[in-house]
Amino acid sequence: MSQKFAPFSRCARPDAVPDCCIDTYRVYDSCIGQECMRNLYLCLTDTAQAVVNQASGVRVKALSVVWAQILTEPIPFQSGYYNVTVRYYLKADCEACVGAGQPQDFSGLSCYTKNVILYGGEGNIFSFRSDDQQSFCSPAPGYDRINRNTNSPRVTVDVASPVALESTIVADDDPTIPACCQNVPEEIAALFDGDFHTGAAITNCVFLTAGLFTTIRLSRPVLLKLENGSFYFPEKTADGVIASSDPCTLFTSMPFPYNEFSPAVIASPEDAPGDPPAERRND
């Protein structure tokens, strides 16, 4: 049989023009998010709930995203578009005023779910790659261990450190507890002292308002021939503007922290202290 495929161009030598083929992921669609998360219920273990039940005030000392659970589903009759559901798990390290103004530390867990629709391209192939543990004398892996990637695009979520905006205590002995508090993954529950599933008595609840900067992008594996490249950042906004006079107004007025997601421009040594930084170079 005659050869039907044209060979790829060879990668150029280091001293030649930087022009070569690469195996990488192409971003098909992306968006940025500046979310103001209102009234997040703080899930507490039995030990933390005992502290909150006696507290007269609570403040958040640190807030972090410990996990993001991602679900991707194709949209019927909209070929190439996908509904991406991201559930963020946030760990809040707090301080409570207990008794005669005595501070006591505790930690809680909050969940926030975000849905976006993005274009992820179309494809009708399966991709296979070599097994990471293969060796000359090892037996062939079972069929269920074959590393096969399906048609769905890859979703990547980048998250900056959340901003704690407000925390309040609400007296409620029969609160509506979110489902994520009742099904905390074991790996996340291990980050907290105590047990989330003991049915501890509740007299006080804690609610948080927080801000979150994120980017979400859909990509697929491709072969590309490149000469050079520069940093890329999504421009489309995931949500509209929130018009309000509460803590969220402050958050939505904050500039998006682009430098947290891509390297900042660095001034060259020859720049004088009072001069503007040098332009970014791609060579």
27-41 pLDDT tens trace? 999 999 999 999 999
| CB atoms near residue 269 (< 10 Å) | 6
The model's confidence at residue 218, banded by pLDDT at 50, 70 and 90, is: very high
pLDDT digits (tens, 9 = 90+) for 43-72: 999 999 999 999 989 999 999 999 999 999
User: In this structure, what token pair is assigned to residue 215?
Assistant: 């980017």
What is the distance between the alpha carbons of residues 89 and 63, in angstroms, rounded to a whole number?
A: 11
Q: Is the dihedral of CA 102, 103, 105, 110 positive or negative?
A: positive
Q: In this structure, is residue 173 part of a structural domain?
A: yes
Q: Which two tokens stand for residue 168?
A: 């309040």
pLDDT digits (tens, 9 = 90+) for 78-111: 889 999 999 999 999 999 998 776 889 999 999 9
pLDDT band per the 50, 70, 90 thresholds, residue 134: low
Tokens 């975000």 locate to 114
Predicted local confidence at residue 44, as pLDDT: 95
| Phi and psi based region of residue 77 (left: phi greater than 0; alpha: psi -120 to 50; beta: remaining) | left
Q: Which tops the pLDDT comparison, 23 or 69?
A: 69
Domain count, the chain: 1
In a domain, 267, yes or no: no
Flag whether 35 is in a domain: yes
pLDDT of residue 240: 52
140 lies in a domain?
Answer: yes
pLDDT at 272 > cutoff 90: no
Are the C-beta atoms of 189 and 134 separated by less than 8 Å?
A: no
Predicted local distance difference test score (pLDDT) of residue 92: 97
User: Domain for residue 202, yes or no?
Assistant: yes
Domain with 230, as residue range(s), is 27-260
Q: Is residue 52 part of a domain?
A: yes
Summarize pLDDT for 243-253 with one digit per residue, the tens: 556 788 878 88
Parallel, antiparallel, or unpaired: how do β-strands 55-74 and 81-98 relate?
A: antiparallel
Q: Is residue 273 part of a domain?
A: no
**pLDDT tens readout for residues 148-173:** 556 788 999 999 999 999 999 999 88
Phi, psi at residue 145, to the nearest 5°? -100, 0
Q: What is the pTM of this model?
A: 0.72
For residue 278, list its beta bridge partners: none
Q: Round to whole Å and give the CA distance between 167 and 175.
A: 17
| CA angle at 253 for the pair 250 and 255, rounded to the nearest 5° | 125
Tell me whether residue 280 is in a domain: no
